[in-house]
Amino acid sequence: MSADAIVVGAGIVGAACAAELAARGMSVEVIEARGIGGGATAAGMGHIVVMNDSPAEFALARHSRELWLALAPHLREIDAFSRCGTLWIAEDDDELAAARAMHAAFASGGVRAHQLDAAALRDAEPALSHAMQGGLLIDDDAIVYAPAAAQFLLTRSPGAARIRVSTQCAVAAVDASESAACVTLANGERRTAAHVVVANGLAASALIDGVPLEAKKGHLLITDRYPGTLHHQVLELGYIKSAHHARGTSVAFNAQPRPTGQMLIGSSRQFGTLDPAVDMNVLGAMLRRASHYLPGIGALDAIRAWTGFRAATPDGLPVIGPARPADDRLWLATGHEGLGVTTSLGTAKLLAAQMFGEPMPFPLPDAAAFSAQRFAGAHVDD
């Protein structure tokens, strides 16, 4: 065998899985069609955020954020981590009520958060529109430069000496027998291991039957350097509905201060397209939405805009675990949608625990919440 485990994909989820397995003493080969930290990992914001759209999502995101905070000192050495907090913006009374409900849920789950009234919001973020009514600050959320984090996990984390990475190497098929798992490359070469972990985002559905993944296209724009314009990651409270429930094309306000002094502006979601070109109509709608919250944004110079594709499952939760019932050779770690960076480290812990037959590394309200078998007979809506 070429390794104890082969991980398909060197994005942040694949890198985290490889690092976790290597730290447990396994020899790991990572096979990546492009380069380390490419694809959705390179296209996203790198926001480490606790979300509570469902109990399972909350448990995974909360545990993962703790792992990121523990890793932070190492990532700060390579300028890849900043704890800026997340500020959810409430525009009206209904959204203030939503902020109070979120605060209560976070408090019951042990997540530090506190409410801001309109005056406190203006003090925290003077550039925001003074029409905003308040917000909810999540203190320990952070941002990470995910491509650099993926590189760190594969080359400098404990056990990294047991990881071998092959880039520019496309995988055509995976299969398994009772004794081994096998990866077939596009050039026909076959590599075997005790386990194969498929962690290559949208492409996973081409390798494993029955994984209902849908592409959600998103746009981002980055500005020139304007240090001090923004201090926290700021999002409208309507972002949660837009991110997980809207169909068709939608935009929502989401802005991030980069350590460079630049600002990332998002976000958008489009279905039914794999065209990577920037859609100027969507980008314009996204920026108009942002200017509603940040009135001065029109005066900032933009450097570039780009798109990426989130791999989404029908219920918005990732697939983490055996690819098939009673199969301990083929594994899945995909479908994280917009939370791949946040939940990558927790995903790796969860997958390794299943592989080694251990108890779950953190409490889950439903042990089958991330199982691939929950989609048996399901399909992605047209």
For all residues of the chain together, what is the average pLDDT? 94
Encode pLDDT of 114-131 as tens digits. 999 999 999 999 999 999
Facing residues of 115 across strands? 136
| Contact in structure between 247 and 229 (CB atoms under 8 Å) | no
**H helical segments located in the chain:** 12-23, 39-43, 55-76, 93-108, 118-124, 146-155, 204-207, 239-244, 280-293, 340-355
Tell me what pLDDT residue 359 has: 95
- Give the residue from 249, 243, 199, 200 showing the smallest Cα distance to 45: 243
Helices (H) and strands (E) in the chain, counts: 10, 19
Encode pLDDT of 346-379 as tens digits. 999 999 999 999 999 999 999 899 999 999 855 4
| Cα gap 153→144, rounded to integer Å | 13
In order of their start, the domains of the chain are 3-46+146-212+315-375 (3.50.50.60), 85-140+214-312 (3.30.9.10)
List the structure tokens of 206.
Answer: 């081409």
User: CA 18 from chain center: how many Å?
Assistant: 17
Tell me what pLDDT residue 382 has: 36
The residue ranges of the chain whose pLDDT is under 70 are 240-247, 377-382
Tell me what pLDDT residue 304 has: 97
Q: How many CB atoms lie within 10 A of CB 107?
A: 12
| Cα gap 208→201, rounded to integer Å | 12
Tell me what pLDDT residue 1 has: 74
| Cα gap 102→109, rounded to integer Å | 11
Give pTM, 2 decimals. 0.95
